[in-house]
Amino acid sequence: MELSTLPSLHFSRSICTAEVRQPGCCGIGSGFATAASRIEPRLGGGAAVLRRASHGYGVGCEFSIPRFVLGSLDHKLGEKLLRRAVRSGASGLRNRREWRCMNAEFGADASNAGSPGSVHFVGIGGAGLSALGLLALRQGWQVSGSDLVWSEEVIRLKEAGARAYVGHSVAQLVPQGSQPPDAVVVSSAVGPGNEEVEAARALNVPIYKRGDWLGKITEGYQLIAVAGTHGKTTTTAMLSVVLRNLGEDITAIVGAQVPQFPDGGSALCGTTRKFVLEADEYDGCFLGVSPHLAVLTNVEWEHVDMFPDEEAVKNMFKKFVLQIKPGGCLVACGDSAGAKSVLGLIEEEQEKDLGSPFPRERRVVTFGLGASDWRAIMLVPNPQGGTDYTVVYKNRPMTRVSLRLPGMYNVLNSLAVIVVMSLLAAEKESDVGAQAKLMKRTAEAAGRALGAFSGVRRRFDFVGSVHGCHIIDDYAHHPTEVRAVLQAARQRYDQQPIWVIFQPHTVSRLAAFLPDFAPAFSAADRVIVTQVYAARNIPTEKVVTGEDLANAIIGPPAVYIPDLDVVVERLSWELAALDKNEMNDRGNIVLLTLGAGDITDVGRRLMQACEVASR
């Protein structure tokens, strides 16, 4: 849409509608006293300007009306707006609070004005923005958005009521016959020069980065933010599911689909003041929020396109911790060297400056397998393929937990949840004795709820079985994550052959971590490396390929097959041959598809190919 054909506003007697006209004036309906009253679009300020000549009021005036008002503005309230403007000399309504006050003052119908408004997401298919889009829909927003390709997330949003598009265009921001949105939220993955963002800027529509939007929508909540280089998605999902199971109607945002959410999505819209958020460090996103309680799972160098080294990552997390509200609490993993280093940075700042922004009234509570306030001890594998362990708080047993999920990292994730639940319960009691009893009861209830937690999409996610092969999909794309998921696979499938298909994620990450990736696959029996999934790449001095990684892997035999289609074709006939000849004497093969890109589709495609070949 050209800027020369912006939406103008046309009034009937009782409702404002929109038409696309040439810029200029449009008459107001017969409800106004004089034809000299008119509404005009304005690029440089609010949504529209209500103008009126001096008839009956002594002077001419101009009054800015935000877009969110126009949907419920009738002629009578229009006259009252003009009277107020002339009487007070005001230039317009600046925000929704003023609009609600005026509605109350004049007794106007606020049923339409009370709705949040409309928001457009640029990059709506990403893990972060898709969850925000779902939450906005459930909160009553009119949601639209665009992304480069159709995806499961975009389809889910469209089915939920969003106006979703593939590709970017000004016409999608302001479709013919509609008004521009009240806000535009932009993904960190969207580069400069995006035409929808530029159009929003020209129309003076507020533009938010994801972190700023999170700060806006979490304001007024008791925010529990889960941060960390690894494990934050699962920990956030666990905490959200446990809180719901214990009767808390929370709001939540998770960076992946959670099967135990009512719709299997990534967002919850609740009625209480509790908001559980997966707080992402990329692009400083989590600096937009101020949590009441924050969890720090671990800290390590990641996102090399954003952070030049580990010190930059630690400093970013330090800034996040300093965002915790006075009287709040930090729950940090005592086993993570990086997390302890962040705590050390804060202590150094306190010693240098007694007026440090992290005063003593903010608590720090640690958890872990080693020396910490809260510990997991007596870990044993259980028949479900997960882990049983005992939780102790300052050497006092609190509860026994039996997890379905394998992996030491899930022990730590679940332990963090028990700590948070116990601390939230303690806030309800001032008596020390009663507080201790309530914390223990809450830890026991949380432990039982964690025993029923079934996991998160793309985190050790069972896809299916075909030709004696169990296929598991995981988001692991960092050396630490690869080692952790292979440890979990060995815990559950100790004697079975484990094959890995690994899709490196970005050249910059592979170049930075190639020496760490080389030994990370040692627990596998076979590795296939594909070409690099090139998302958010930045120039790097060292050009590294998937073939370089395949040649560098220490331990299991590794081969480079760049194309995913070829991988699917090759494995389909290999699995069929093994199944037919009964050569797999170690039991079912376990196939892990690892990576943050479209490797996630390989398991499903492989099952389809095997089924077709066996007909």
Residue 397: what are its φ and ψ, rounded to 5°?
A: -60, 135
Q: Residue 582's pLDDT is what?
A: 55
- Give the 3-state DSSP-derived string for 43-86, with helices as H, strands as E and coil as C: CCCCCEEEEECCCCCCCCEEEEECHHHHCCCCHHHHHHHHHHHH
- How confident is the model over 224-233, as pLDDT tens digits? 999 999 999 9
CATH class of 461-613: alpha beta
Residue that wins the pLDDT comparison between 57 and 218:
218
Q: What angle do CA 266, 270, 273 make, to 5 degrees?
A: 120
Q: Residue 58's pLDDT is what?
A: 33
Residue 361: what are its φ and ψ, rounded to 5°?
A: -70, -5
Find how far residue 252's CA is from the centre of its chain: 9
- Assess if CATH 3.40.1190.10 describes domain 220-451: yes
Q: Residue 358's pLDDT is what?
A: 54
Alpha carbon distance 570, 306 (integer Å): 37
Output the DSSP codes for 499-516.
EEEE--B-HHHHHHHHHH
Residue 611 confidence class, pLDDT cut points 50, 70, 90: confident
CATH class of 118-211: alpha beta
Alpha carbon distance 85, 36 (integer Å): 16
- How confident is the model over 73-107, as pLDDT tens digits? 444 444 444 444 444 444 444 444 443 444 444 33
Q: Which residue has the tokens 């924050």?
A: 294
Q: Which two tokens stand for residue 524?
A: 């596998």
Q: Which two tokens stand for residue 375?
A: 């510990």
Output the DSSP codes for 156-222.
HHHHHT-EEEES--HHHHS-TTSPPPSEEEE-TT--TT-HHHHHHHHTT--EEEHHHHHHHHHTTSE
Does 293 score more than 90 pLDDT?
Answer: yes
Residues 415, 367: contact at Cβ < 8 Å? Answer: yes
Residue 282 confidence class, pLDDT cut points 50, 70, 90: very high
Q: Residue 503: how many CA atoms within 13 Å on its side-chain side?
A: 24
Q: Residue 265's pLDDT is what?
A: 92
Alpha carbon distance 422, 442 (integer Å): 6
- Give the 3-state DSSP-derived string for 381-426, with helices as H, strands as E and coil as C: ECCCCCEEEEEEECCEEEEEEECCCCCHHHHHHHHHHHHHHHHHHH
Q: Is 516 exposed, middle or buried (0-12, 13-18, 19+ CB in 10 A)?
A: middle
Task: Tell me the residue type at 407.
Answer: G
Alpha carbon distance 465, 358 (integer Å): 51
Does 286 score more than 90 pLDDT?
Answer: yes
The yes-or-no answer to whether 118-211 and 220-451 have a common fold is no
Domain coordinates in residue numbering, the chain = 3-106, 118-211, 220-451, 461-613
